[in-house]
């Protein structure tokens, strides 16, 4: 068995709603976990020296100046290796990040960090709910903050309560 019982119990635990954040992207609202929280959970569950992250690839895929604003976009691939007993469990994640600021350096920095952080979260999410897996499934309704609104016949949004 790669994980000890204590680690398995932590990996099977439900996601605590207090760590879930929401953001608007276009006309859709998404629930997510912040990067610092996911890294904290990895340290708590696997130990500070029980896992490692390696950025496999980063690439700037877009850059533009529009007046005094600079935009940059990056893609990143990250590998997470978890040491579990005498085994190494390897998971990869990929993501993109974009930023627009009044400084070209800052736009690149923010976009690159966002891509690496999201790729790390995507690799770790495969380990279960403490890393946000339930946010990617029908179980999302178990987290009140992430219940999807539906329209009633009057056109108003209401919170979905059917199961």
Task: Tell me what pLDDT residue 27 has.
Answer: 85
Task: Tell me what pLDDT residue 152 has.
Answer: 46
CATH of the domain at 148: 3.30.390.80
Phi, psi (degrees; rounded to nearest 5) at 10: -65, -40
Task: Tell me what pLDDT residue 28 has.
Answer: 84
| Domain ranges, residue 123 | 5-159
Tokens, residue 102: 């009044």
Tell me the whole-structure pTM to 2 decimals: 0.83
Average pLDDT along the chain, 163 residues, taken 10 residues at a time: 90 90 86 95 97 98 98 98 95 98 98 98 95 76 60 45 34
83-87, Cβ contacts within 8 angstroms, sequence gap of 24 or more:
83/46, 83/49, 83/50, 83/51, 84/2, 84/3, 84/7, 84/46, 84/50, 85/1, 85/2, 85/3, 85/4, 87/2
The number of distinct structural domains making up the chain is 1
């Amino acid at each position: 068995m790669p994980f000890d019982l204590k680690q398995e119990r932590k990996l099977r635990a439900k996601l605590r709603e207090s760590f879930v954040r929401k953001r608007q992207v276009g006309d859709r609202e998404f629930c997510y976990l912040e990067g610092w929280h996911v890294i904290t959970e990895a340290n708590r569950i696997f130990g500070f020296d029980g896992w490692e992250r390696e950025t496999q690839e980063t690439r700037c895929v877009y850059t533009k100046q529009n007046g005094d604003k600079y935009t940059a976009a990056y893609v990143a691939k990250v590998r997470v290796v978890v040491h579990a007993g005498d085994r190494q469990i390897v998971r990869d994640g990929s993501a993109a990040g974009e930023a627009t600021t009044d400084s070209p350096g800052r736009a690149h920095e923010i976009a690159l960090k966002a891509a690496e952080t999201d790729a790390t979260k995507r690799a770790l999410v495969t380990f279960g709910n403490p890393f946000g897996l339930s946010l990617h499934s029908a179980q999302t309704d178990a987290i009140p903050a992430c219940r999807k609104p539906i329209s009633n016949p009057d056109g108003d949004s209401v919170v979905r309560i059917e199961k």
